[in-house]
Structure 1
Amino acid sequence: MRSTIHFALLILITILLSACATPPPTNIQVNSQEHQAKLSQIQHWKLKGRMAFKGSDEKFSANVNWQQVDDSYHLSLNTMLGINILTMQGDKESAELNADDEQYQDTDASHLIWRITGWQIPVSQFPFWIKGQAQPTDKVIYAQSGVIEQLIPVCDSCAGWLISYQDYHQVDNVWLPYNIKLNNSALGNQILIRVNQWTKQ
Protein backbone atom coordinates (compact mmCIF):
# COMPACT_ATOMS: atom_id res chain seq x y z
CA MET A 1 0.00 0.00 0.00
CA ARG A 2 2.72 2.44 1.02
CA SER A 3 4.77 1.79 -2.12
CA THR A 4 1.79 2.63 -4.33
CA ILE A 5 1.17 5.92 -2.54
CA HIS A 6 4.86 6.81 -2.50
CA PHE A 7 5.21 6.09 -6.22
CA ALA A 8 2.30 8.44 -6.94
CA LEU A 9 3.85 11.10 -4.72
CA LEU A 10 7.36 10.94 -6.22
CA ILE A 11 7.50 14.28 -8.10
CA LEU A 12 10.41 16.72 -8.38
CA ILE A 13 10.71 18.68 -5.14
CA THR A 14 13.11 21.33 -6.38
CA ILE A 15 10.37 23.56 -7.84
CA LEU A 16 8.75 24.04 -4.46
CA LEU A 17 12.06 24.39 -2.67
CA SER A 18 13.01 27.32 -4.90
CA ALA A 19 9.57 28.90 -4.44
CA CYS A 20 10.05 28.85 -0.67
CA ALA A 21 13.00 31.23 -0.87
CA THR A 22 10.77 34.31 -1.03
CA PRO A 23 11.89 36.93 1.52
CA PRO A 24 9.30 38.30 3.99
CA PRO A 25 7.65 41.62 3.13
CA THR A 26 8.91 44.69 4.97
CA ASN A 27 5.64 46.59 5.42
CA ILE A 28 4.19 44.45 8.26
CA GLN A 29 3.80 46.06 11.67
CA VAL A 30 1.44 44.45 14.15
CA ASN A 31 1.01 44.09 17.89
CA SER A 32 1.93 40.45 18.57
CA GLN A 33 -0.78 39.84 21.17
CA GLU A 34 -3.50 41.43 19.07
CA HIS A 35 -2.36 39.53 16.00
CA GLN A 36 -2.44 36.20 17.86
CA ALA A 37 -5.92 37.02 19.16
CA LYS A 38 -7.12 37.62 15.58
CA LEU A 39 -5.63 34.30 14.46
CA SER A 40 -7.42 32.44 17.26
CA GLN A 41 -10.74 33.83 15.99
CA ILE A 42 -10.22 32.34 12.52
CA GLN A 43 -12.03 29.02 12.86
CA HIS A 44 -13.38 28.61 9.31
CA TRP A 45 -10.85 28.78 6.48
CA LYS A 46 -9.64 27.23 3.24
CA LEU A 47 -6.09 26.91 1.99
CA LYS A 48 -4.80 26.07 -1.47
CA GLY A 49 -1.14 25.62 -2.26
CA ARG A 50 1.71 23.20 -2.70
CA MET A 51 3.35 20.91 -0.20
CA ALA A 52 6.72 19.18 -0.29
CA PHE A 53 7.72 16.39 2.07
CA LYS A 54 11.29 15.23 2.53
CA GLY A 55 12.02 12.24 4.74
CA SER A 56 15.09 10.19 5.47
CA ASP A 57 14.43 7.88 2.52
CA GLU A 58 11.83 9.60 0.34
CA LYS A 59 10.59 12.92 -0.99
CA PHE A 60 7.52 14.12 -2.86
CA SER A 61 5.55 17.22 -3.69
CA ALA A 62 1.83 17.71 -4.31
CA ASN A 63 -0.97 20.23 -4.53
CA VAL A 64 -2.74 20.62 -1.20
CA ASN A 65 -6.30 21.72 -0.41
CA TRP A 66 -7.29 22.11 3.23
CA GLN A 67 -10.67 23.19 4.61
CA GLN A 68 -11.11 23.78 8.35
CA VAL A 69 -14.47 24.32 10.08
CA ASP A 70 -13.97 24.55 13.84
CA ASP A 71 -12.46 21.16 14.80
CA SER A 72 -13.47 19.44 11.55
CA TYR A 73 -11.16 19.33 8.56
CA HIS A 74 -10.96 18.01 5.00
CA LEU A 75 -7.56 17.59 3.36
CA SER A 76 -6.74 16.44 -0.15
CA LEU A 77 -3.41 15.91 -1.88
CA ASN A 78 -3.20 15.77 -5.66
CA THR A 79 -0.42 15.36 -8.18
CA MET A 80 0.51 18.27 -10.43
CA LEU A 81 -1.65 16.59 -13.09
CA GLY A 82 -4.70 16.69 -10.82
CA ILE A 83 -4.71 12.99 -9.89
CA ASN A 84 -5.87 12.46 -6.32
CA ILE A 85 -3.26 10.91 -4.04
CA LEU A 86 -5.26 10.83 -0.84
CA THR A 87 -8.03 12.56 1.02
CA MET A 88 -8.36 12.81 4.77
CA GLN A 89 -11.15 14.15 6.90
CA GLY A 90 -12.07 14.09 10.54
CA ASP A 91 -12.36 15.90 13.85
CA LYS A 92 -11.15 15.40 17.43
CA GLU A 93 -13.05 12.12 17.73
CA SER A 94 -12.15 10.25 14.54
CA ALA A 95 -10.32 10.40 11.21
CA GLU A 96 -10.85 8.81 7.82
CA LEU A 97 -8.27 8.45 5.05
CA ASN A 98 -8.98 7.41 1.46
CA ALA A 99 -6.22 6.29 -0.92
CA ASP A 100 -6.07 3.89 -3.86
CA ASP A 101 -9.82 3.28 -3.57
CA GLU A 102 -9.35 2.01 -0.03
CA GLN A 103 -10.81 3.57 3.12
CA TYR A 104 -9.10 3.60 6.52
CA GLN A 105 -10.36 4.85 9.87
CA ASP A 106 -8.88 5.55 13.28
CA THR A 107 -9.68 7.53 16.41
CA ASP A 108 -6.28 9.28 16.14
CA ALA A 109 -5.45 11.17 12.93
CA SER A 110 -1.69 11.13 13.54
CA HIS A 111 -1.70 7.37 14.12
CA LEU A 112 -3.84 6.84 11.03
CA ILE A 113 -1.55 8.72 8.68
CA TRP A 114 1.47 6.99 10.21
CA ARG A 115 -0.16 3.57 9.81
CA ILE A 116 -0.91 4.13 6.12
CA THR A 117 1.99 6.29 4.93
CA GLY A 118 4.70 5.99 7.56
CA TRP A 119 4.83 9.77 8.12
CA GLN A 120 5.10 10.88 11.75
CA ILE A 121 3.07 14.10 11.73
CA PRO A 122 1.10 15.64 14.65
CA VAL A 123 -2.02 16.29 12.57
CA SER A 124 -3.98 17.94 15.41
CA GLN A 125 -1.41 20.75 15.62
CA PHE A 126 -1.43 21.60 11.91
CA PRO A 127 -4.40 24.03 11.95
CA PHE A 128 -2.50 26.19 14.45
CA TRP A 129 0.91 25.85 12.80
CA ILE A 130 -0.38 26.70 9.34
CA LYS A 131 -1.91 29.97 10.58
CA GLY A 132 1.20 30.93 12.54
CA GLN A 133 -0.77 30.70 15.77
CA ALA A 134 1.09 29.86 18.99
CA GLN A 135 -0.30 27.90 21.90
CA PRO A 136 0.26 29.11 25.50
CA THR A 137 3.05 26.57 26.17
CA ASP A 138 4.91 27.11 22.86
CA LYS A 139 8.27 28.82 22.62
CA VAL A 140 8.09 31.67 20.12
CA ILE A 141 10.51 33.97 18.34
CA TYR A 142 8.80 37.06 16.97
CA ALA A 143 10.09 39.14 14.08
CA GLN A 144 10.47 42.89 14.59
CA SER A 145 7.25 43.28 12.61
CA GLY A 146 5.31 41.44 15.33
CA VAL A 147 4.50 38.23 13.44
CA ILE A 148 5.97 34.87 14.40
CA GLU A 149 9.30 34.04 12.78
CA GLN A 150 9.95 30.71 14.49
CA LEU A 151 7.82 28.46 16.66
CA ILE A 152 8.94 25.58 18.88
CA PRO A 153 5.74 23.78 19.85
CA VAL A 154 5.40 22.09 23.23
CA CYS A 155 2.95 19.18 23.36
CA ASP A 156 2.98 15.40 23.84
CA SER A 157 3.50 14.71 20.12
CA CYS A 158 5.48 17.84 19.18
CA ALA A 159 8.99 16.83 20.26
CA GLY A 160 11.67 17.92 17.80
CA TRP A 161 9.50 20.10 15.57
CA LEU A 162 10.56 23.61 14.55
CA ILE A 163 8.25 25.77 12.41
CA SER A 164 9.59 28.76 10.48
CA TYR A 165 7.53 31.41 8.70
CA GLN A 166 8.16 33.80 5.82
CA ASP A 167 6.24 35.73 3.21
CA TYR A 168 3.19 36.92 5.17
CA HIS A 169 0.30 38.44 3.23
CA GLN A 170 -2.70 40.36 4.48
CA VAL A 171 -6.04 38.57 4.13
CA ASP A 172 -9.08 40.57 5.27
CA ASN A 173 -6.97 42.68 7.66
CA VAL A 174 -5.12 39.69 9.14
CA TRP A 175 -1.53 38.77 8.23
CA LEU A 176 -1.25 35.07 7.33
CA PRO A 177 1.88 33.12 6.35
CA TYR A 178 2.33 32.02 2.75
CA ASN A 179 5.61 30.19 3.28
CA ILE A 180 5.81 27.64 6.10
CA LYS A 181 8.69 25.30 6.85
CA LEU A 182 8.24 22.47 9.35
CA ASN A 183 11.39 20.63 10.31
CA ASN A 184 12.11 17.72 12.62
CA SER A 185 15.79 16.79 12.48
CA ALA A 186 15.34 13.89 14.93
CA LEU A 187 12.88 12.21 12.55
CA GLY A 188 14.69 13.41 9.43
CA ASN A 189 11.46 15.01 8.21
CA GLN A 190 10.92 18.36 6.50
CA ILE A 191 7.62 19.73 5.23
CA LEU A 192 7.40 22.86 3.11
CA ILE A 193 4.05 24.51 2.42
CA ARG A 194 3.73 27.29 -0.13
CA VAL A 195 0.25 28.84 0.05
CA ASN A 196 -1.36 30.12 -3.14
CA GLN A 197 -4.64 31.24 -1.58
CA TRP A 198 -6.10 31.73 1.89
CA THR A 199 -9.88 32.07 2.18
CA LYS A 200 -11.50 33.10 5.44
CA GLN A 201 -15.17 32.22 5.95
Structure 2
Amino acid sequence: MRFTKPLLSGLIIVTAALSGCVSKPDLPLVPVDIKQPAAAYAWDLSGKILVKTPDDKVSTNLYWLHSPRRDEMRLTSMLGTSLMSMSVTPEETKLTADGDTYTDDDPQRLLYRLSGWSIPVDKLPLWLTGQFEGATVIKKDAQGRPSELQATGIQPWTIQVRSWQPDNPVLPRLMLVSRPGMELKVQINRWQALAPAAPVANSLPTNDQANTQS
Protein backbone atom coordinates (compact mmCIF):
# COMPACT_ATOMS: atom_id res chain seq x y z
CA MET A 1 0.00 0.00 0.00
CA ARG A 2 1.31 3.46 -0.86
CA PHE A 3 0.18 6.99 -0.22
CA THR A 4 -2.19 8.28 -2.86
CA LYS A 5 -1.69 11.69 -4.46
CA PRO A 6 -4.42 13.27 -2.28
CA LEU A 7 -2.76 11.71 0.77
CA LEU A 8 0.60 13.18 -0.21
CA SER A 9 -1.02 16.58 -0.57
CA GLY A 10 -2.57 16.19 2.84
CA LEU A 11 0.77 15.10 4.26
CA ILE A 12 2.26 18.41 3.29
CA ILE A 13 -0.43 20.11 5.34
CA VAL A 14 0.17 17.96 8.42
CA THR A 15 3.85 18.74 8.88
CA ALA A 16 3.46 22.34 10.06
CA ALA A 17 1.53 21.44 13.21
CA LEU A 18 4.30 19.15 14.28
CA SER A 19 6.07 21.25 16.87
CA GLY A 20 3.10 21.40 19.18
CA CYS A 21 1.95 17.80 18.88
CA VAL A 22 5.01 15.60 19.13
CA SER A 23 4.91 12.81 21.70
CA LYS A 24 6.86 13.35 24.88
CA PRO A 25 10.33 11.72 25.03
CA ASP A 26 11.16 9.15 27.70
CA LEU A 27 12.89 11.78 29.87
CA PRO A 28 11.99 15.45 30.43
CA LEU A 29 14.39 17.46 28.27
CA VAL A 30 15.62 21.04 28.59
CA PRO A 31 17.60 23.24 26.16
CA VAL A 32 21.37 23.39 26.65
CA ASP A 33 24.28 25.17 24.98
CA ILE A 34 26.99 22.99 23.47
CA LYS A 35 30.01 23.56 21.25
CA GLN A 36 29.83 20.34 19.20
CA PRO A 37 26.61 18.66 17.92
CA ALA A 38 28.00 15.26 18.93
CA ALA A 39 27.87 16.40 22.56
CA ALA A 40 24.07 16.70 22.50
CA TYR A 41 22.16 14.04 24.43
CA ALA A 42 19.14 14.86 22.26
CA TRP A 43 17.98 17.62 19.93
CA ASP A 44 15.04 18.99 18.06
CA LEU A 45 14.94 20.91 14.82
CA SER A 46 12.46 22.60 12.53
CA GLY A 47 12.88 23.46 8.90
CA LYS A 48 11.75 22.32 5.48
CA ILE A 49 12.19 19.20 3.41
CA LEU A 50 11.72 18.59 -0.32
CA VAL A 51 11.31 14.98 -1.42
CA LYS A 52 11.72 14.22 -5.13
CA THR A 53 11.20 10.88 -6.86
CA PRO A 54 10.39 10.07 -10.50
CA ASP A 55 6.71 10.10 -9.50
CA ASP A 56 6.47 12.70 -6.73
CA LYS A 57 7.72 16.12 -5.69
CA VAL A 58 6.58 17.00 -2.18
CA SER A 59 7.67 20.03 -0.15
CA THR A 60 6.71 20.28 3.53
CA ASN A 61 7.67 21.77 6.84
CA LEU A 62 9.70 19.42 9.00
CA TYR A 63 9.94 18.93 12.74
CA TRP A 64 12.22 16.28 14.25
CA LEU A 65 12.91 15.33 17.86
CA HIS A 66 15.83 12.93 18.23
CA SER A 67 16.84 11.22 21.48
CA PRO A 68 18.71 7.99 22.27
CA ARG A 69 15.55 5.91 22.51
CA ARG A 70 13.05 7.77 20.38
CA ASP A 71 12.68 9.73 17.17
CA GLU A 72 9.57 11.81 16.56
CA MET A 73 9.20 13.24 13.08
CA ARG A 74 6.32 15.14 11.57
CA LEU A 75 5.57 16.78 8.24
CA THR A 76 3.09 19.63 7.86
CA SER A 77 1.88 22.13 5.28
CA MET A 78 2.32 25.90 5.32
CA LEU A 79 -1.14 26.06 6.87
CA GLY A 80 -0.04 23.90 9.79
CA THR A 81 -2.03 20.83 8.88
CA SER A 82 -0.37 17.54 9.75
CA LEU A 83 0.25 15.18 6.86
CA MET A 84 2.36 12.48 8.44
CA SER A 85 3.86 11.72 11.84
CA MET A 86 6.26 8.93 12.66
CA SER A 87 7.48 7.66 16.03
CA VAL A 88 10.51 5.36 16.09
CA THR A 89 11.74 3.38 19.10
CA PRO A 90 14.00 0.30 19.26
CA GLU A 91 10.87 -1.81 19.71
CA GLU A 92 8.46 -0.36 17.14
CA THR A 93 7.81 2.23 14.47
CA LYS A 94 4.41 3.89 14.19
CA LEU A 95 3.42 6.01 11.19
CA THR A 96 0.16 7.96 11.12
CA ALA A 97 -1.20 9.49 7.92
CA ASP A 98 -4.69 10.35 6.71
CA GLY A 99 -6.17 9.19 10.01
CA ASP A 100 -4.69 5.69 9.85
CA THR A 101 -1.80 4.27 11.89
CA TYR A 102 0.63 1.64 10.61
CA THR A 103 3.35 -0.23 12.52
CA ASP A 104 6.56 -2.11 11.72
CA ASP A 105 9.86 -2.83 13.45
CA ASP A 106 11.83 -1.13 10.63
CA PRO A 107 11.15 2.59 9.99
CA GLN A 108 12.72 2.66 6.51
CA ARG A 109 10.75 -0.39 5.40
CA LEU A 110 7.49 1.04 6.75
CA LEU A 111 8.01 4.44 5.12
CA TYR A 112 8.89 2.84 1.79
CA ARG A 113 5.94 0.46 1.93
CA LEU A 114 3.46 3.29 2.46
CA SER A 115 4.97 6.10 0.40
CA GLY A 116 7.57 4.66 -1.93
CA TRP A 117 10.16 6.97 -0.33
CA SER A 118 13.53 5.35 0.38
CA ILE A 119 14.76 7.69 3.12
CA PRO A 120 17.78 6.79 5.32
CA VAL A 121 15.96 7.38 8.61
CA ASP A 122 18.76 5.75 10.61
CA LYS A 123 21.54 7.91 9.08
CA LEU A 124 19.85 11.30 8.74
CA PRO A 125 20.06 12.31 12.43
CA LEU A 126 23.86 12.14 12.19
CA TRP A 127 24.13 13.74 8.76
CA LEU A 128 21.88 16.63 9.76
CA THR A 129 24.30 17.45 12.58
CA GLY A 130 27.40 17.25 10.38
CA GLN A 131 28.52 13.84 11.67
CA PHE A 132 29.67 11.96 8.58
CA GLU A 133 31.69 9.11 10.07
CA GLY A 134 31.96 6.28 7.56
CA ALA A 135 31.31 8.56 4.56
CA THR A 136 34.03 9.43 2.05
CA VAL A 137 34.75 13.14 1.62
CA ILE A 138 34.78 14.05 -2.08
CA LYS A 139 35.07 17.85 -1.80
CA LYS A 140 35.65 20.49 0.89
CA ASP A 141 34.68 24.16 1.02
CA ALA A 142 37.00 27.13 1.50
CA GLN A 143 36.90 26.61 5.30
CA GLY A 144 37.92 22.96 5.00
CA ARG A 145 34.45 21.63 5.86
CA PRO A 146 32.96 18.73 3.87
CA SER A 147 30.83 19.97 0.97
CA GLU A 148 30.31 16.67 -0.86
CA LEU A 149 30.50 13.13 0.51
CA GLN A 150 29.49 9.62 -0.41
CA ALA A 151 28.03 7.25 2.16
CA THR A 152 28.80 3.58 1.56
CA GLY A 153 26.08 1.02 0.98
CA ILE A 154 24.48 -1.20 -1.65
CA GLN A 155 23.10 2.02 -3.16
CA PRO A 156 25.44 4.77 -1.90
CA TRP A 157 24.01 8.14 -0.92
CA THR A 158 25.63 11.36 -2.12
CA ILE A 159 25.57 14.11 0.51
CA GLN A 160 26.04 17.75 -0.49
CA VAL A 161 26.26 20.42 2.20
CA ARG A 162 25.20 23.61 0.41
CA SER A 163 25.59 25.91 3.43
CA TRP A 164 26.47 25.78 7.15
CA GLN A 165 24.95 27.47 10.18
CA PRO A 166 26.83 30.69 10.99
CA ASP A 167 26.80 30.24 14.78
CA ASN A 168 27.94 27.59 17.24
CA PRO A 169 27.54 24.72 17.15
CA VAL A 170 28.69 24.32 13.55
CA LEU A 171 26.21 22.15 11.68
CA PRO A 172 24.69 22.11 8.19
CA ARG A 173 21.96 24.57 7.26
CA LEU A 174 21.12 23.35 3.74
CA MET A 175 21.80 19.78 2.67
CA LEU A 176 21.04 17.69 -0.42
CA VAL A 177 20.98 13.90 0.00
CA SER A 178 20.48 11.87 -3.17
CA ARG A 179 20.86 8.61 -5.02
CA PRO A 180 19.24 7.37 -8.25
CA GLY A 181 15.47 7.77 -8.00
CA MET A 182 15.46 9.72 -4.71
CA GLU A 183 16.48 13.23 -3.71
CA LEU A 184 16.04 14.94 -0.32
CA LYS A 185 16.67 18.63 0.21
CA VAL A 186 16.66 19.64 3.88
CA GLN A 187 16.86 23.19 5.20
CA ILE A 188 17.35 23.58 8.96
CA ASN A 189 15.88 26.84 10.26
CA ARG A 190 16.22 26.09 13.97
CA TRP A 191 18.23 23.50 15.90
CA GLN A 192 18.36 23.08 19.67
CA ALA A 193 20.49 20.73 21.75
CA LEU A 194 18.66 19.10 24.66
CA ALA A 195 19.66 17.35 27.87
CA PRO A 196 17.72 15.50 30.59
CA ALA A 197 16.24 17.88 33.14
CA ALA A 198 17.98 17.83 36.51
CA PRO A 199 15.95 15.91 39.11
CA VAL A 200 14.04 18.09 41.54
CA ALA A 201 15.42 17.74 45.05
CA ASN A 202 12.98 16.46 47.65
CA SER A 203 11.94 19.42 49.77
CA LEU A 204 10.95 17.19 52.72
CA PRO A 205 13.75 16.49 55.23
CA THR A 206 15.02 12.94 55.59
CA ASN A 207 14.72 11.14 58.95
CA ASP A 208 18.38 11.87 59.73
CA GLN A 209 17.89 15.55 58.94
CA ALA A 210 14.77 15.70 61.07
CA ASN A 211 16.56 14.05 64.00
CA THR A 212 19.47 16.47 63.65
CA GLN A 213 17.21 19.48 63.55
CA SER A 214 15.33 18.27 66.63
Normalising TM by the smaller chain, what interval?
Answer: 0.7 to 0.9
Q: Which residue of 2 aligns with 1:6?
A: 8
Structure 1: gaps of 5 or more residues: 12-36
Q: Aligned-residue CA RMSD in angstroms?
A: 2.0
Q: Which amino acid aligns with 2:10?
A: A
1:93/1:108 contact within 8 Å kept: no
Counterpart Cα distance in 1 of 2:88 and 2:182:
24
Q: Describe the shift of the 1:86–1:9 C-alpha distance in structure 2 as closer, same or farther (beyond 3 A).
A: closer
Q: Which residue of 2 aligns with 1:84?
A: 82
User: What is the CA deviation profile of residues 103-142 of structure 1, one whole-angstrom value per residue up to 9, with x for unaligned ones?
Assistant: 111100000101111111121111011112112x321243
| Correspondence for 2:36 among 27, 35, 38 | 38
Offset, 1:5: 1.9
1:46-125 matched pairs, under 5 angstroms: 46-125=44-123
Q: Which residue of 2 aligns with 1:21?
A: none
Offset, 1:87: 0.3
2:12/2:81 contact within 8 Å kept: no
Q: Which residue of 2 aligns with 1:194?
A: 187
Structure 2: gaps of 5 or more residues: 14-34, 195-214
Counterpart Cα distance in 2 of 1:79 and 1:189:
21
Counterpart Cα distance in 2 of 1:170 and 1:44:
21
TM-score, with length taken from structure 1: 0.77
TM-score, with length taken from structure 2: 0.73
Offset, 1:148: 1.9
Q: Describe the shift of the 1:117–1:81 C-alpha distance in structure 2 as closer, same or farther (beyond 3 A).
A: same
Matched, 1:139 2:147: no
Q: Which residue of 1 aligns with 2:174?
A: 179
**SS where residue 59 of structure 2 aligns?**
strand
1:52/1:191 contact within 8 Å kept: yes
User: What is the CA deviation profile of residues 149-180 of structure 1, one whole-angstrom value per residue up to 9, with x for unaligned ones?
Assistant: 12211246xx2311111221145x32111101
Q: Which has the larger radius of gyration?
A: 2
Q: Which residue of 2 aligns with 1:129?
A: 127
Q: How many residues align?
A: 170
Q: Describe the shift of the 1:79–1:10 C-alpha distance in structure 2 as closer, same or farther (beyond 3 A).
A: closer
2:50/2:184 contact within 8 Å kept: yes
Identity rate, percent: 26
